[in-house]
Amino acid sequence: DVKVTQSSRYLVKRTGEKVFLECVQDMDHENMFWYRQDPGLGLRLIYFSYDVKMKEKGDIPEGYSVSREKKERFSLILESASTNQTSMYLCATLRREQGIYEQYFGPGTRLTVT
């Protein structure tokens, strides 16, 4: 079974703090993703990575950065947290083999910025 873990289920931070959200996968998948989930908006892609040290912006990258130093770990960084970044953050990996194309998701981190 694919396992995608996220460092925290719930996180409360203050405005202006630097925030790190960590995601680790155990299946040697090349592609990893960070999504943000908001009610009525579904999930929106923030950033994704297709290899170590390789990244690409998604639809809403403003205010975020990412780091992928090792294949199994993909970090989302909020350089200076703001209240409009209060949201649920989901990490995912991509299985792409033998005609199967499927994303596996972590449990999510609910971030509150006060």
Partner 1 sequence: AQTVTQSQPEMSVQEAETVTLSCTYDTSENNYYLFWYKQPPSRQMILVIRQEAYKQQNATENRFSVNFQKAAKSFSLKISDSQLGDTAMYFCAFTVYNQGGKLIFGQGTELSVKP
Check: CB of residue 31 under 8 Å from CB of residue 50: yes
x/- mask, partner 1, residues 25-64, rule CB under 8 A, reads: ------x-x-x----xxxxxx--x-x-----x-x------
Q: Which residues contact 66 (CB under 8 A, 6 or more apart)?
A: 34, 46, 47, 49, 55, 74, 75, 76, 77
Residue 20, both tokens: 């790190």
Interface positions, 1-30, toward partner 1 (CB under 8 A) = none
Which residue's CB is nearer to partner 1, number 10 or number 16? 10
Question: By the criterion CB under 8 A, which residues form the site for partner 1?
Answer: 31, 33, 35, 40-45, 48, 50, 56, 58, 88, 90, 92, 94, 96, 99, 101-103, 105, 107-108
